[in-house]
Amino acid sequence: MGSVKKTYRSDALRSAHLVAQDLHAAGAIDKATLRRFDLSCLTPVEPLDPQAIRAIRETAQMSQAIFAKALNVTTSLVSKWERGEKKPGGPSLKLLALASRKGIDAIL
């Protein structure tokens, strides 16, 4: 997989983040400070619709049961996500977004 395109909340935050990356490269700020910039500058994870969740699982060539184990959730919950009865949130949504962008191996 190639590099992940970062989406910023604004052009100003994009610029601030690029400066922070340069400061880190020059040794002026530590990795923890750079990570705080990452969290404050990057756009939050967007919700996923049922079809997107199913597509992530099918791209990974996993059954709902195996996919659920990879996400540390129940098979029933994956099924409800894919039917639109429930929506993933919190850590599950973050893992799904990561698997969508980088592939299932990024979370295994």
Q: Is the pTM of this model over 0.75?
A: no
pLDDT, one tens digit per residue, over 60-104 is 999 999 999 999 999 999 999 999 999 999 899 989 999 998 899
**What are the sequence ranges of the domains in the chain?**
11-41, 50-106
DSSP H helical ranges for the chain: 11-25, 31-41, 50-59, 64-71, 75-83, 90-102
Task: Say which CATH superfamily domain 50-106 falls into.
Answer: lambda repressor-like DNA-binding domains (1.10.260.40)
Position 43 scores a pLDDT of 65
* Alpha carbon distance 13, 70 (integer Å): 33
The residue written with tokens 């893992």 in the block is 95
Cβ atoms of 60 and 27 closer than 8 Å? no
Those residues with Cβ within 8 angstroms of residue 55's Cβ, 6 or more apart along the chain or in another chain: none
